[in-house]
């Protein structure tokens, strides 16, 4: 019994090494496919709703990314992003839209981001570390 366990130890280690090296080789040949639970949501697009002259959109968190990840707005009208501070955590609370001059930190007390896009275009937004990202489409 004891002898079997002692022989198995190195064998398991060898198998682990073979699997590990196979993984690192596979990484170079083909893109790594994440299991479904670890894949970000497909693009979810939302058009901001005009409320009292302001384009309002809620920004929450889907699977590993902001939800929605595409926000459609119109140029020349103020935009108000209401961030879901309960769902957005960690660095996802630090939101930047460089092309629109937005850099915000979302907290429970301050979860509203306002800006007025002046001209049409596509402007990327992301958390400050670039993990989560999306696009503001200005029409």
Query: Could you list the residues that contact Cu ion (CB under 5 A)?
Result: 91, 127, 129, 131
Question: Judged by CB, which is closer to Cu ion: 22, or 131?
Answer: 131
Shortest CB 71 distance to Cu ion, Å: 18
Question: Judged by CB, which is closer to Cu ion: 89, or 118?
Answer: 89
Question: Judged by CB, which is closer to Cu ion: 56, or 91?
Answer: 91
Place of tokens 């400050």: 128
* Residue among 69, 73, 85 at smallest CA distance from 115: 73
| Tally of CB atoms within 10 A around 18 | 10
Q: Which two tokens stand for residue 105?
A: 């930190």
Question: Judged by CB, which is closer to Cu ion: 68, or 117?
Answer: 68
Q: What distance in Å separates the CA atoms of residue 109 and residue 103, rounded to the nearest whole number?
A: 16
Give the neighbor-by-neighbor strand order of the sheet with 133-138: 45-47, 70-73, 133-138, 121-127, 94-97, 102-105
Question: Judged by CB, which is closer to Cu ion: 20, or 131?
Answer: 131
Shortest CB 125 distance to Cu ion, Å: 12
Shortest CB 74 distance to Cu ion, Å: 28
* Residue among 27, 77, 76 at smallest CA distance from 51: 77
Q: What distance in Å separates the CA atoms of residue 61 and residue 95, rounded to the nearest whole number?
A: 13
Shortest CB 15 distance to Cu ion, Å: 36
Shortest CB 126 distance to Cu ion, Å: 8
């Amino acid at each position: 019994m004891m002898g079997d366990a002692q022989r198995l130890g190195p064998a398991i280690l060898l198998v682990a090494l073979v699997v590990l090296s196979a993984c690192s080789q596979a990484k170079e040949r083909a893109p790594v496919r994440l299991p479904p639970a670890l894949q970000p949501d497909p693009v979810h697009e939302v058009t901001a709703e005009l409320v009292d002259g302001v384009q309002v959109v809620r920004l929450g968190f889907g699977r590993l990314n902001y939800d929605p990840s595409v926000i459609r707005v119109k140029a020349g009208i103020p935009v108000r992003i209401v961030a879901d501070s309960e769902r957005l955590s960690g660095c996802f609370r630090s939101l930047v839209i460089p092309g629109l001059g937005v850099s915000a930190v979302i907290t429970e007390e301050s979860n509203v981001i306002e800006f007025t896009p002046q001209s049409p275009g596509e402007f990327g937004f992301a958390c400050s570390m670039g993990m989560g990202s999306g696009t503001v489409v200005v029409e």
